[in-house]
Amino acid sequence: MKFGKEFVSQMVPEWREAYMDYNSLKLIIKDIVRFRKKYASSTPMATTPAGSVLKRRVALYRAFSGLTSRQRGSLRKMEDEEILVAEEGEEGQWQTRFLMPSEDGGEFEVVFFRSLDDEFNKVNCFYKKKVGEVVEEAEELSRQMDGLIALRLKVDNPKVDIGGGSELASNGISSVSAVHPSGRKTVEMSNEGEILEENEETGIEELETADRKPNRGTVNIKGFKPQPLEVLDHIKINVPNTKPDLSFSKKELKKVEEQMAQAFSEFYKKLRLLKSYCFLNQLAFSKIMKKYDKFSSRPASKAYLNMVDNSYLGSSDEVTRLMERVETTFIKHFANGNRRKGMKTLRPKTKREKHRNTFFLGLLFGGSISLTVAIIVLMHARNILRSAGHDLYMENIFPLYSLFGFIVLHLIMFSGNIFFWRRYRVNYPFIFGFNQGSEIGYRQLFLVSSGLAILALAGTISNLDMELDPKTKSYVAVKELVPLGLVIVVLLIMVCPFNIIYRSSRYFLLLCIFRCLLAPLYKVTLPDFFLADQLTSQVQAFRSLEFYICYYGWGDFKKRSHNCLDSHVFKSFYFIVAMIPYWMRSLQVFCVQNSLISPS
């Protein structure tokens, strides 16, 4: 793959406009080459084709690297005569001066360096801005981590009293947050307190011993600087579905630790993206300058790339140091010192596509196509559409199997969504809140839909066979129970507790369905909103479920007869069931609007 395509494929979509415009600079270089070709072909000494003349001129005037390393020192003088790069202005904007604008085609090279400077200053300023933002976030995480450490000490040792006041000031630790104007207190959790690692275990043991001694007001341990507990006076545990009070329990501590671990994980991911942004842009400037040297026969890349290395983009190491600090803190406080476990959470490996998934996907998809063709051939061969029982068959059996058709179609469409999200680098696992590394992909979802299609189509064919085959025609009850058996199988798979058939994704779906049904009682999140919005398109599937209840509960399915369509109760619920997804969606909107207008 060419660098230009690879460069675009690795961009962070939200920062696309902040990356170097590699293609526009390539176009300017092409203009330079085009002018040189035209100039070479118009000279009277040109006795050979223009292309060969240009190649010979490039070879004759290309920069010479020298036979020994001693001669490389003379290149700097030549480079200094080609361009001059300096930092100008109060904002530190870098400007390049091309020293040979009067040469033929020099105006194109002036435009190139002007555009190059604009792109570099854009990238440099954006990177500096983002580094400042992550430094502020790191400071906020540090203050939140102070509160978490104090909370851990208080929960583990409820009676211990660790001095604050001067201790608080001497350690340079500020309170986590101020008391809310309404009287309630808020909490914000995340970074590392001042605890000396080499004496940490000994200090904790002495702390526990001191806690058991009577009339002990303050613990003073040499080599151990515990988190002052005055921080807890300004903290309220912000855990959903719990009462706002100042009591600290292990359940609340566990919830806060989970939130803090997630915050550190997302912050580390942002640092990795920022580091990748820096590396990709530096590589892009290196590539474009080498391309310029190649086609212009001017050794200007070394001087310009030295400037890139000396700039903030090339010399700043704040991101690297923050990454190391986050790794150390996360491993120590959230992975119990297990580096492998901690790094597995911070840097989850990309899920590798397994060959067996692709194999079974092709097998099941091909099987579903074959069964569809077999049903069509069977219907035409046996003239089912013109048979006497056609109307009765379509009235009873078709609604039962159409439920699976709606589900399969929905899964196929959603797998298409995931495919395009991945193609255009949309971070859907983070947006929907999936567990890192356990999110379902489009191949897996398409595999599930193909498997369900196989079951439904096989049931349809078996039902047709049992209807038309004289040997099986008498077993009426068996053939009528096939679609009900398929529904039971699907429901059992959904609630299966074993780690098979994508358990984490199944449970995530069940949790979202539960929150959608109880929309007023739970905070509306994006997965819940997305699912409820999708369910509004599945009204007919809900009506099919209602028909299942009527057909197998009220009707005489053994004789394939029912009076569902004549029942006023069925007709009433026919409209009520259709309103359920819209009702859930309206409750979600109501909850969101109330949360927006409620006083903070």
pLDDT digits (tens, 9 = 90+) for 10-59: 888 889 999 999 999 999 888 888 887 776 666 554 444 444 444 455 55
CA distances from 552 to 170, 371, 482, 548, 560 (A): 75, 27, 12, 6, 10
Confidence (pLDDT) at 51: 46
Q: Which residue has the tokens 């200053």?
A: 121
Of the given ranges (74-88, 144-158, 299-313, 426-440), which has the lowest mean pLDDT?
A: 74-88
pLDDT at residue 412 greater than cutoff 50: yes
Position 66 pLDDT exceeds 90:
no
CA distance 335 to 344: 10
- Predicted pLDDT at 14: 86
Distances (CA, A) of 415 to 412, 422, 423, 528, 532: 5, 11, 12, 18, 18
90 vs 354: which has the higher pLDDT = 354
pLDDT value of position 248? 65
Q: What is the pLDDT of residue 373?
A: 94
pLDDT at 472 (0 to 100):
61
- Residues in the chain, overall count: 600
The per-residue pLDDT for 597 is 54
Q: Which residue has the higher pLDDT, 569 or 67?
A: 569
Query: Cα–Cα distances in Å, from 188 out to 157, 177, 185, 243, 559?
Result: 22, 7, 10, 17, 65
> String of b and e for 69-100 (b: at least 16 CB within 10 Å)?
eeeeeebeeebeebbebeeeeeeeebebebee
Who wins on pLDDT, 87 or 527? 527
Distance CA 83, CA 101 (A): 10
Name the average pLDDT for the chain.
77
- Identify the pLDDT of residue 213: 41
- What band does 140 get if pLDDT is binned at 50, 70 and 90? very high
Which carries the bigger pLDDT value, residue 570 or residue 220?
570
Backbone angles phi, psi at 96, to 5 degrees: -110, 130
Share of the chain above pLDDT 70, in %: 71
Domain map of the chain by residue range? Answer: 146-265, 355-597
- Nearest-angstrom CA–CA distance, 208 and 253: 19
Average pLDDT over residues 402-407: 93
Other C-beta atoms lying within 10 Å of the C-beta of residue 562: 20
Q: What is the DSSP letter of 65?
A: -
pLDDT of residue 64 exceeding 50: yes
Instruction: Name the least confident of 11-15, 125-129, 296-300, 329-333.
Output: 296-300
pTM of the predicted model, to two decimals?
0.66
Which tops the pLDDT comparison, 60 or 442?
Answer: 442
**180 pLDDT exceeds 50?**
no
**Lowest-confidence range among 125-129, 251-255, 262-266, 496-500?**
251-255
**Once rounded to an integer, what is the mean pLDDT over residues 504-515?**
92
pLDDT in tens, 348-387: 877 677 788 889 999 999 999 999 999 999 888 877 777 7
Is residue 344 pLDDT above 80, yes or no? yes
Confidence of residue 250 (pLDDT cuts 50, 70, 90): confident
| pLDDT, position 273 | 93
Tell me the three state secondary structure of residue 189. Answer: coil
pLDDT score at 71? 41
Of the listed ranges 104-108, 287-291, 493-497, 514-518, the least confidently predicted one is 104-108
More confident residue, 171 or 353: 353
Span 581-593, mean pLDDT? 88
Is the predicted pLDDT of residue 105 greater than 90, yes or no? no
* CB-CB contact of 354 with 444 (8 Å): no
pLDDT of res. 475: 55
130 CB-side CA count, 13 A = 24
Q: Look at the alpha carbons of 554, 557, 563, 564 in this order and tell me if their dihedral is positive or negative.
A: positive
Tell me how far apart the alpha carbons of residues 106 and 141 are, in angstroms, rounded to a whole number. 52
Residues 552, 483: contact at Cβ < 8 Å? Answer: no
CB 190 within 8 A of CB 258: no
Q: What 3-state DSSP class applies to 83? A: strand
